[in-house]
Amino acid sequence: MKTDIKLSGVGGQGILSIATVIGQAATSAGLHLKQAEVHGMSQRGGDVQSDLRLSDQAICSDQIALGTADLIVSMEPMEALRYLPWLGPDGVVVTSSRPFVNIPDYPGEEALLAELDSLPRVARLDIEQKARDLGAPRSANMVLLGMAARHMTILTPEQLRAAIRAVFSAKGRKVVEDNIKAFDAGYESIQ
Amino acid sequence: MEEKRLLLGDEAVALGAIHAGISGVYAYPGTPSTEVTEFIQNDPLARESGVRSRWCTNEKTAMEAALGMSYAGKRALVCMKHVGMNVCADAFVNSAITGVNGGLVVLAADDPSMHSSQNEQDSRFYGRFAMVPILEPADQQECYDMQAFAFMLSEALRLPVLLRMVTRLAHSRAAVSVGSPQPQNILHPDEDRGRWVLLPGNARRRYAALVESQPKLEAAAEESPYNTLSLGSKPQLGVIAAGIAANYVREVAPADISLLKVSQYPLPAARVRSLAEACNEILVVEDGQPFIEEQVRGLLGAGYPVTGRLTGRLPRTGELNPDHVARAFGTGGGPVFQTAKNLAPRPPQLCQGCGHRDVYAALNQVLADYPSARVFGDIGCYTLGALPPFRAIHSCVDMGASITMAKGAADAGVHPAVAVIGDSTFTHSGMTSLLDAVNDNAAVTVIISDNLTTAMTGGQDSAGTHKYEAICLALGVEREHLHVVVPLPANMEKIAGIIRKELEYKGVSVIIPQRECMQTLARKQRLRKAEGGRQHED
DSSP string for residues in B229-261: EE--SS-SEEEEEETTHHHHHHHHS-TT-EEEE
Instruction: Select the residue of B175, B322, B343 nearest A61 (Cβ to Cβ).
Output: B322
Query: With bands split at pLDDT 50, 70 and 90, how would you rate the model's confidence at A40?
Result: low
Instruction: Select the residue of A27, A86, A171 nearest B175 (Cβ to Cβ).
Output: A27
In this prediction, residue B341 carries a pLDDT of 97
Contact at CB, B339 and A66, closer than 8 angstroms:
no
Query: With bands split at pLDDT 50, 70 and 90, how would you rate the model's confidence at A42?
Result: low
A-chain CB neighbours of B175 within 8 Å are 27, 32-33
**Nearest residue in A to B173, CA atom:** A35
Give the SS3 label for residue B26. strand
Number of cross-chain residue pairs from A and B with Cβ atoms under 8 Å apart: 167
A-chain CB neighbours of B172 within 8 Å are 34-37, 51, 62
Contact B329, A65 (CB under 8 A): no
Which segments of B301-368 does DSSP mark as H helices, in order?
Answer: 322-328, 355-367
In this prediction, residue A11 carries a pLDDT of 87
Bridge partners of B197, per DSSP, are: none
Cα gap B144→B180, rounded to integer Å? 12
In this prediction, residue B353 carries a pLDDT of 94
Residue B246 Cα, gap to closest chain A Cα (Å): 8
Residue A112 Cα, gap to closest chain B Cα (Å): 6
- pLDDT mean over A71-92: 98
Cα gap B106→B127, rounded to integer Å? 10
Helix (H) or strand (E) holding B188: none
In this prediction, residue B183 carries a pLDDT of 98
Contact at CB, B171 and A39, closer than 8 angstroms:
yes
Beta strands in chain A (DSSP E): 2-10, 32-36, 47-55, 69-74, 87-96, 122-125
Instruction: Select the residue of A11, A46, A172 nearest B533 (Cβ to Cβ).
Output: A172
For chain A, the residue count is 191
Residue A165 Cα, gap to closest chain B Cα (Å): 15
Residue B121 Cα, gap to closest chain A Cα (Å): 18
Enumerate helices (H) and strands (E) in chain A, giving the number of each.
Answer: 7, 6
- What's the burial of B474, exposed, middle or buried (CB within 10 Å: 0-12/13-18/19+)? exposed
The residue among B398, B423, B395 whose CA lies nearest residue B409 is B395
Contact at CB, B534 and A34, closer than 8 angstroms:
no
Contact A189, A147 (CB under 8 A): yes
Best interface-test mutation with B: which of A15, A27, A39, A53 has the largest number of B CBs within 10 A? A39
The residue among B15, B38, B39 whose CA lies nearest residue B182 is B15
For chain B, the residue count is 538
Helix (H) or strand (E) holding B161: strand B161-166
CA angle B348, B351, B355 (to 5 degrees): 130
Q: Which letter does DSSP use for residue B538 in this model?
A: -
Cα gap B288→B145, rounded to integer Å? 23
Give the SS3 label for residue A102. coil
Residue B457 Cα, gap to closest chain A Cα (Å): 6
Q: Is B458 left (phi over 0), alpha (psi -120 to 50) or beta?
A: left
Q: Is B243 left (phi over 0), alpha (psi -120 to 50) or beta?
A: left
B-chain CB neighbours of A103 within 8 Å are 344-347
Residue A126 Cα, gap to closest chain B Cα (Å): 19
**Nearest residue in A to B538, CA atom:** A172
A-chain CB neighbours of B381 within 8 Å are 44
**Nearest residue in B to A105, CA atom:** B344
Contact at CB, B339 and A84, closer than 8 angstroms:
yes
The residue among B212, B211, B213, B221 whose CA lies nearest residue B295 is B221
In this prediction, residue B533 carries a pLDDT of 58
Give the C-alpha distances (Å, rounded to integers) separating B488 from A184, B357, B388.
43, 9, 20
Best interface-test mutation with B: which of A31, A61, A87 has the largest number of B CBs within 10 A? A61
Q: Which letter does DSSP use for residue B450 in this model?
A: B
Cα gap B108→B79, rounded to integer Å? 6
Cα gap A80→A112, rounded to integer Å? 10
Q: What is the DSSP string of A120-136?
A: SSEEEE-HHHHHHHTT-
Give the C-alpha distances (Å, rounded to integers) separating A78 from A190, B33, B197.
21, 30, 61
ipTM for the complex shown: 0.94
Instruction: Select the residue of A37, A63, A107 nearest B321 (Cβ to Cβ).
Output: A63
In this prediction, residue B195 carries a pLDDT of 97
Task: Mention every residue, 6+ apart, whose C-beta is less than 8 A from residue B270.
Answer: B222
Determine how many CB atoms are found less than 10 A away from the CB of residue B191: 8
Instruction: Select the residue of A34, A45, A68 nearest B349 (Cβ to Cβ).
Output: A45
CA angle B225, B21, B186 (to 5 degrees): 120
Helix (H) or strand (E) holding A178: helix A173-188
Strands B237-242 and B258-262: parallel
In this prediction, residue B254 carries a pLDDT of 86
Cα gap B309→B289, rounded to integer Å? 8
Residue B211 carries which side chain, given as an amino acid letter? V
What is the longest distance spanned by two Cα atoms in chain B?
Answer: 79
- pLDDT mean over A173-190: 97
Residue A108 Cα, gap to closest chain B Cα (Å): 8
Contact at CB, B115 and A42, closer than 8 angstroms:
yes
Question: Which ranges of chain B have pLDDT less than 70?
Answer: 1-2, 532-538
